Each structure stands twice: as C-alpha cells, then as structure tokens.
C-alpha cells in the first residue's frame, strides 16, 4: 500500500523493548543538550545542565556501549548478506559498510560514556542542586553565576569539550536508530471507533504517522509481539473522534 498524501503529519514512535526505550530517551536528551549548548542566560544554562544530568543518570544504569556495538555488528552482517542478493546496489552497500566500520571503530576507542561529564567540577556542582526544588538559584550556585558571566570564548572551550566527549555516542546512536527506522515501510491503515490492534514478530519500534488536522493523537501500548492503538482527541471532553481514522503504520 502507498502513503497518505498530505504534508502536515506528526510521526509518533513507540519502543517494543527496553533497549529501544532507553535509546529513544538518550536520543531525546542528546538532542536537547546539543540544542541548548548555546547558553545565553542563567535559565538556558540550568536547562542545559539539567539535560546533561539526566543523560548521566541513564548512562549509569546500563551497558549502553556494548548494546550499541551488538546492534552495529548485527546491521553490518545484515548489509553484507544483502550485498550477495541479486540486483543489490553494491556501491551503496559498500558505502554503508564503510560508515558502519568507522562508527564501530570510533565507538571502540572512545572513553567511557559520560566520564568527562561526571568528573567536571561545574557539572558536578550543579547536579548536586538539581534535585532540590528551586535549588539552582544564583545564591545557591555563585560559582555557576560567575562561570555564566565569563567570556563566551572561555565558556565555549568547556562546552565544546563536553560535546566532543559525547560525539561517539551521538554518532553511533544516530546510525543505529536511522537503520532501524529505515528497516520498516509505512502502510496505510484504518482505525474504526478509535481503536486498532495487530500482531508483529521480531519488531522493535512502531512508527505511526498521523495528520494533525483532527487534533487526534495515538495512545500506544504493546510488548514484544502485540500492540494496540487507541486514538484520542486533544480535547478529551468536547473533541469529536471520526468513526474511521486513516493513519500510516511502520513496524521496524
């Protein structure tokens, strides 16, 4: 089946296992960190350090590097097998294999994820105050207040060092999630009375593409082989839900 013809779509994603759940959270935090790294005020500085703190907490919970290495190797083997198929685009596959090998090499040689962030004095100092409601006032953190007022060049030296330490993680994660997302194809589906369910086998990520037109969003639940979608209106009391809802579904 083809795709719906429209431009104003939102793509919702849902992880089917804990590994993908963790990777999507890491992706979100890394996006926030890189976007907030242009610190222009005390408030944006606190927002940046809060995202950094949350990233460190996730990295401390599991073996992110080993899981990414396993997935990259799995994708490398799969690409190598595709190269043997009839009519395979060997030039494209060769390019992708080179990129994967480079990503794997950089991941193997990178220091422990988050180590540079954990040992930084400014980050450690702010992290100690983040768990306290309003605990990052300027009178609580005069050192941070001073750091935020030194020259932009000096601040950028620290910030660039932090970001560079995250580049191997960011690049590996982006490669893995891009390959997973590209492994599925969107197909048009119909929901009747705001509900849809189906079975999947060996899939890790659901992607639902839905028009913003009717102000409807999907509430997604699932695990391993089964999933269900319940479509809800943003105005839960007065919103009108169409009897039939067209959407696109990709199981990756």
**CATH number, domain at 199?**
2.60.440.10
Number of domains in the chain: 2
| Higher pLDDT, residue 94 or 6 | 94
Question: Do 164 and 93 sit in the same domain of this protein?
Answer: yes
Question: Do 85 and 164 sit in the same domain of this protein?
Answer: yes
Look at residue 122 and tell me whether its pLDDT is greater than 80.
yes
86 pLDDT band, cuts 50/70/90, is confident
Distance (Å, rounded) from C-alpha 49 to C-alpha 46?
Answer: 5
pLDDT digits (tens, 9 = 90+) for 28-53: 999 999 999 999 889 999 999 999 99
> What mean pLDDT do residues 226-243 have?
92
pLDDT of residue 1: 45
> What mean pLDDT do residues 115-143 have?
91
Return the CATH number at 165. 1.10.3900.10
> What mean pLDDT do residues 193-220 have?
93
Distance (Å, rounded) from C-alpha 230 to C-alpha 193?
Answer: 9
CA 178, chain centre distance (Å): 10
Question: Do 77 and 116 sit in the same domain of this protein?
Answer: yes
Helix (H, G, I), strand (E, B) or coil at 236: coil
User: Has residue 3 been placed in a domain?
Assistant: no
Look at residue 214 and tell me whether its pLDDT is greater than 60.
yes
User: Has residue 24 been placed in a domain?
Assistant: no
Question: Do 76 and 122 sit in the same domain of this protein?
Answer: yes
C-alpha count within 13 angstroms, C-beta hemisphere, residue 147: 20
> What mean pLDDT do residues 9-28 have?
95
Domain encompassing residue 229: 9-13+184-251
State pTM to two decimals.
0.89
Question: Do 213 and 178 sit in the same domain of this protein?
Answer: no
2 pLDDT band, cuts 50/70/90, is low
User: Has residue 26 been placed in a domain?
Assistant: no
User: Has residue 192 been placed in a domain?
Assistant: yes
> What mean pLDDT do residues 119-128 have?
94
pLDDT digits (tens, 9 = 90+) for 164-177: 999 999 999 999 99
Question: Do 172 and 202 sit in the same domain of this protein?
Answer: no
State which H helix or E strand residue 111 sits in. Answer: none
pLDDT of residue 3: 52
Of the three residues 123, 151, 183, the one that is the final residue of a domain is 183
Decide the pairing of beta strands 244-251 and 205-211: antiparallel
Question: Do 224 and 175 sit in the same domain of this protein?
Answer: no
- DSSP one-letter code for 1: -
């Amino acid at each position: 089946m083809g795709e719906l013809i429209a431009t104003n779509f939102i793509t919702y994603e849902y992880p089917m296992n804990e590994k993908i759940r963790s990777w999507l959270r890491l992706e979100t935090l890394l996006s926030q960190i890189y976007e907030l790294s242009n610190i222009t005020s005390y408030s944006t500085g606190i927002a940046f350090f809060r995202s950094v703190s949350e990233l460190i907490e996730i990295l401390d919970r599991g073996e992110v590097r080993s899981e990414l290495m396993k997935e990259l190797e799995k994708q490398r083997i799969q690409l190598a097998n595709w190269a043997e198929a009839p009519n395979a685009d060997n030039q494209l596959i060769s390019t992708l294999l080179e990129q994967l090998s480079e990503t794997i090499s950089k991941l193997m040689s990178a220091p422990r994820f988050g180590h540079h962030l954990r040992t930084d004095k400014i980050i450690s100092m702010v992290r100690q105050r983040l768990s306290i409601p309003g605990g990052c006032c300027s009178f609580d953190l005069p050192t941070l207040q001073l750091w935020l007022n030194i020259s932009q060049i000096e601040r950028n030296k620290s910030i660039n060092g932090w970001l560079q330490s995250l580049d191997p993680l960011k690049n590996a994660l982006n490669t893995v999630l891009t390959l997973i997302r590209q492994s599925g194809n969107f197909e048009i589906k119909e929901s009747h009375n705001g509900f849809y369910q189906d079975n999947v086998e060996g899939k890790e990520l659901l992607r639902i593409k839905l028009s913003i037109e009717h102000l409807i969003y999907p509430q997604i639940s699932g695990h391993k082989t089964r999933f269900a979608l319940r479509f809800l209106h943003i105005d839960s009391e007065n919103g009108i839900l169409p009897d039939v809802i067209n959407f696109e579904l990709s199981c990756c």
